[in-house]
Amino acid sequence: MQSVDPDEGAQTVHRLRALAVELNLLGAEFAQLHGLHTTDLRALICILDAHRTGLAATPGWLGSQLGINSASVTALLDRMEKAGLIRRDRDADDRRRSLLAVTPRAVDLGQTFFGPLIDRTASVLDDFDTAERATISRFLDGVNRAITVERQAGAQRTDGAESRSRTRRAGEPA
């Protein structure tokens, strides 16, 4: 395989970052319009994605997806349940465990707001043939994997820094 010019790689990363910023702004507009926190929207997306793929969404799973503690997850789920976006059902196999489900209202809200974007994005794909679409999918999957690796590496760097900071004595250099 041919190596990518570093400038081309940087330009691609900048385009992806600009796309991420635009998507975050659109999400923030949706959240504000519906009286949600942006974390509520991220949670809703996670639960919708889990539902779409058949994954059992639990509060613990959601906390790990969002990087928040169990008390924050409880407050988040309370807000979302009060807004009529999710419900917590008891797991039939393990009554101690709650399963998270989106409500029809949440699906309708998401479809009303994001449906046009989905349609426009799908129409952009019409300009690409089957092989090109497969390449785009492979690229996006690879970028997602790269981000996952970087987040894990960042978490390890943070964990190490936190443990070192806990062992320093007052007045010692960092």
What is the total count of domains within the chain?
Answer: 2
Same domain for 140 and 68: no
Tokens, residue 166: 């806990």
| Structure confidence at residue 162 (pLDDT) | 54
Summarised one tens digit per residue, pLDDT across range 55-80 is: 999 999 999 999 999 999 999 999 99
Same domain for 112 and 150: no
Tell me the Ramachandran region of residue 25: left when phi exceeds 0, alpha when psi lies from -120 to 50, beta otherwise: alpha
Confidence category of residue 159, pLDDT binned at 50, 70, 90: low
Tokens, residue 87: 């419900």
Cβ–Cβ under 8 Å, residues 72 and 95? no
- Closest C-alpha to 117, from 19, 15, 13: 19
Residue 5 lies in a domain: no
Last residue of a domain, one of 97, 123, 149: 123
Q: Give dist(CA 81, CA 100) in Å, integer.
A: 10
Summarised one tens digit per residue, pLDDT across range 101-153 is: 999 999 998 888 889 999 999 999 999 999 999 999 999 999 999 998 998 88
Residue 47 lies in a domain: yes
**Which domain does 143 fall in, by range?**
128-173
Same domain for 116 and 35: yes
| Structure confidence at residue 54 (pLDDT) | 92
Give the pTM: 0.75
